């Protein structure tokens, strides 16, 4: 197995094998969420986007008076489902205002065909996606004790949207991409002015290792600091759905979670 290699600042991405970590999933709210062991969501739904009244986000608040930094969560291709809400609750336990955006106008998919249809409909208007996420940031600023700093975090479809948001908006200070679609043009990346976090899977048939390396090459050429890892022995979706293959997914997911906590500490 390969040793862990951090891809920061100007280094290429490498496939990494995480060490077997000793964290107890019952002691960490995020590990409970991503292993399928979280309780019912405890936050509340929010209508936040005037251009699409059916868009219903989900808000989870940390305990205390604040102010708190914020994370904008961008759902997978099936929409804003319970696993995303549980993940938002876990971020709130870490001290973040967690807002899960709804890019599908309240709709969710229950099959591959439905999910593809939802993705295509949303992707048909990239400007509306940016406006939706900007509206989430604005809502947080107007309605919660926020610090004014936010990061966008997305998985699968949402990972690609997180990158699009970094390219299309100045309303946030961090971008975390979990196995989302990528670009490899340094000129397109000139708009990004913050460090980028990325977690990818060696066995991802949709986003191969070569594409991740090309993405990191482009960030390096554009002068964008980054923390990107490719984990071996895992497939697409491994982080948000550890229970699909716990033997391989859990060590990688724990390591990626530790990296994400450190990353958010740096940028927020």
Number of domains in the chain: 1
pLDDT by residue (tens digit) across 12-62? Answer: 444 444 444 444 546 899 999 999 999 999 999 999 999 999 999 999 999
Task: Look at the pTM and tell me if it is higher than 0.85.
Answer: yes
Does residue 6 form part of some domain? no
Per-residue pLDDT band at 9 (split at 50, 70, 90): very low
Q: Which residue has the higher pLDDT, 90 or 15?
A: 90
204: helix, strand or coil: coil
Does residue 8 form part of some domain? no
Output the CA torsion sign for 253, 258, 261, 266.
negative
Q: Which residue has the higher pLDDT, 26 or 94?
A: 94
Domain span holding position 53: 15-267
Q: What is the pLDDT of residue 12?
A: 40
Question: Average pLDDT, whole number, for the chain?
Answer: 92
Whether 238 has a pLDDT exceeding 60, the answer reads yes
Q: What is the pLDDT of residue 19?
A: 44
Whether 219 has a pLDDT exceeding 80, the answer reads yes
Q: What is the pLDDT of residue 22?
A: 45
CATH code for the domain in which residue 97 is found: 3.40.50.1820
Does residue 9 form part of some domain? no
Does residue 147 form part of some domain? yes
pLDDT by residue (tens digit) across 109-153? Answer: 999 999 999 999 999 999 999 999 999 999 999 999 999 999 999
Whether 8 has a pLDDT exceeding 90, the answer reads no
Does residue 10 form part of some domain? no
Q: What is the pLDDT of residue 24?
A: 54
Using an 8 Å Cβ cutoff, are 212 and 228 in contact?
Answer: yes
């Amino acid at each position: 197995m390969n040793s862990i290699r951090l891809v920061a600042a100007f280094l290429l991405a490498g496939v990494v094998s995480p060490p077997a970590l000793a964290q107890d999933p019952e002691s960490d709210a995020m590990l409970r969420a991503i292993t399928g062991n979280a309780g019912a969501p405890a936050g509340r739904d929010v209508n936040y986007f005037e251009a699409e009244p059916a868009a219903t986000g989900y808000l989870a608040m940390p305990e205390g008076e604040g102010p708190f930094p914020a994370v904008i969560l961008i759902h997978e291709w099936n929409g804003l489902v319970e696993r995303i809400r549980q993940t938002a609750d876990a971020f709130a336990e870490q001290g973040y205002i967690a807002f899960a955006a709804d890019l599908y106008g309240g709709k969710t998919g229950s099959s591959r065909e439905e999910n593809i249809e939802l993705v295509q409909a949303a992707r048909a208007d990239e400007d509306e996606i940016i406006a939706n996420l900007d509206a989430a940031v604005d809502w947080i600023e107007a309605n919660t004790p926020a610090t004014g700093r936010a990061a966008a975090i997305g998985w699968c479809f949402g990972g690609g949207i997180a990158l699009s948001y970094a390219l299309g908006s100045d309303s946030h200070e961090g971008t975390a991409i979990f196995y989302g679609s990528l670009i490899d043009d340094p000129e397109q990346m000139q708009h990004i002015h913050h460090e980028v976090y990325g977690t990818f899977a060696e066995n991802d048939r949709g986003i191969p290792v070569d594409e991740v390396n090309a993405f990191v090459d482009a960030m390096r050429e554009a002068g964008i600091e980054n923390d990107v890892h490719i984990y071996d022995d895992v497939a697409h979706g491994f982080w948000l759905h550890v229970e699909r293959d716990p033997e391989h997914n859990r060590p990688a997911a724990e390591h990626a979670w530790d990296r994400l906590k450190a990353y958010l500490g740096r940028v927020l």
